Amino acid sequence: MKILGIESSCDETAAAVVENGSQILSNVIVSQIDIHAAYGGVIPEVAARSHIEAIQPVIDKALSDAKLNIEDIDAIAVTHTPGLVGSLLVGTLAARGIAILHNIPFYPVHHLKSHIYANWLSGHQPEFPLLAAVISGGHTQIIYMERHDSFEIIGTTRDDAIGECFDKVAKILGLPYPGGPAIAKAAEKGNPDKYKLPIPKVDNLDFSFSGIKTAVLRAVQKELNLPITTPSYELQKHLNAQQIADFAASFQATAVKILLQKLKKAAKNHPAKSILLAGGVSANALLREELLKTFQNSHQVFFPEPKLSTDNGAMVASAAFYSIKSGEKASNPYELDISPRSIIQ
Ligand code: KG4
Ligand code: ZN
């Protein structure tokens, strides 16, 4: 079964064709990172306009790269929630139009679910039950799955998402958007033990990241002997490269430690055979290394290849394939709802 997956929930316009949930026939991603970097973050209105320009060429290229015509496609899958409303509208309207015009079965897909299914695209099949850490710019959740299409959220963030925290700390340090890769790069030359950042005390498997962002801000102000009223754009001017590297390394090590602590706790209480990372932050090399060290003797460990960690259409197609296998019926493309927020279920 060949599925065309379309993704436009944030700042990537993406389309891919995937066969039987795991074989990528094409994977086209047009990133708006360069456009948004000028503003230090995603501007929703600009994102929606850029999606409009890119969506049709991206879909056309996904089909031509796969050497297929639209008539060869068995189903169309598209991200319909959660995300930026204007961005979601562009991808879903394009997908609905194609589904209606060519009479192709149509499947809306939840964005977090699709991130998890990026782990089915590297030639391996994670075994159930499994624990998935969905860690992206908008989400931080630990999800327990006993089988395909069964999602139990066992931990979530009470404030900022982990990726958002990487992005905000990068901003404090004067590093470019998106902050995750910039922090990881700067951290290569830094000392992770230089600055002690607090590990938040949060009950059960929940997270809190807003305190660490503030802790970094205060630590930078202290390091530079500047008052706590000094805004971050002022601080950046005074930081030297070594200080930036040390702050980046200390923050990254703390963020990874927090995540691993909670995953260890989750693994104790749940009989999981596999542990998966999903979402943009799963591209982080230190996190992957530490995850392997912690779990490789007790669990099967999976993370998507870096290109599939961040938003893409292939994961949307894969998620739809396994939903179809689990009995999901096609949706009516005339009636699709999009929604900026929603819980995976
Ligand atoms: O999944 P994604 O592409 O979009 C959302 O659904 O949010 O994730 C984007 C997030 C950004 O916050 C970005 O800074 C983070 O993923 N990210 C990383 C790395 N690469 C991307 N965070 C840490 N380390 C990385 N190497
Ligand atoms: Zn995402």
Q: Using one digit for the tens of pLDDT, what is the confidence trace for 145-156?
A: 999 989 999 999
Output the residue whose Cα is nearest ligand 1's atom 26.
Answer: 284
Å from CA of 99 to ligand 1 middle = 30
Question: Which ligand 1 atom is the nearest neighbour of the CA of 309?
Answer: 1
Residue 180 CB–ligand 1 contact under 6 Å: yes
Output the residue whose Cα is nearest ligand 1's atom 2.
Answer: 280
The per-residue pLDDT for 341 is 87
Mean pLDDT of 2-30: 97
Could you say which DSSP state residue 86 is in? Answer: H
Alpha helices in the chain (DSSP H): 33-37, 44-65, 85-102, 111-117, 162-173, 179-187, 210-223, 232-235, 241-269, 285-295, 306-309, 314-325
Asked, colleague to colleague, whether 2-119+308-325 and 128-303 share their fold, the answer is yes
| Structure token digits, residue 107 | 């499947």
The per-residue pLDDT for 149 is 87
Question: How high does pLDDT run on average in the chain?
Answer: 95
The per-residue pLDDT for 253 is 98
Residue 143 CB–ligand 1 contact under 6 Å: no
Å from CA of 164 to ligand 1 middle = 8
Please say whether the dihedral angle defined by the alpha carbons of residues 319, 320, 325 and 328, taken in this order, is positive or negative. positive
The per-residue pLDDT for 343 is 83
**pLDDT over 90 (residue 2):** yes
**pLDDT over 90 (residue 36):** no
Q: Which CATH architecture has domain 2-119+308-325?
A: 2-Layer Sandwich (3.30)
- Four-way CATH pick for 128-303: 3.40.50.2000, 3.30.420.40, 3.40.50.300, 3.40.50.720: 3.30.420.40
**pLDDT over 80 (residue 345):** no
Percent of the chain residues topping a pLDDT of 90: 88
Q: Hey, how many other C-beta atoms are within 10 angstroms of the C-beta on 155? A: 20
Question: Which ligand 1 atom is the nearest neighbour of the CA of 9?
Answer: 6
Lowest mean pLDDT: which of 146-150, 231-235, 269-273? 231-235
**pLDDT over 90 (residue 55):** yes
The per-residue pLDDT for 144 is 98
Phi, psi of 322 (to 5 degrees): -70, -25
Mean pLDDT of 3-28: 97
Q: Using one digit for the tens of pLDDT, what is the confidence trace for 105-145?
A: 999 999 999 999 999 998 889 999 999 999 999 999 999 99
pTM exceeds cut of 0.75: yes
For the chain, give every domain's residue range.
2-119+308-325, 128-303
The per-residue pLDDT for 287 is 98
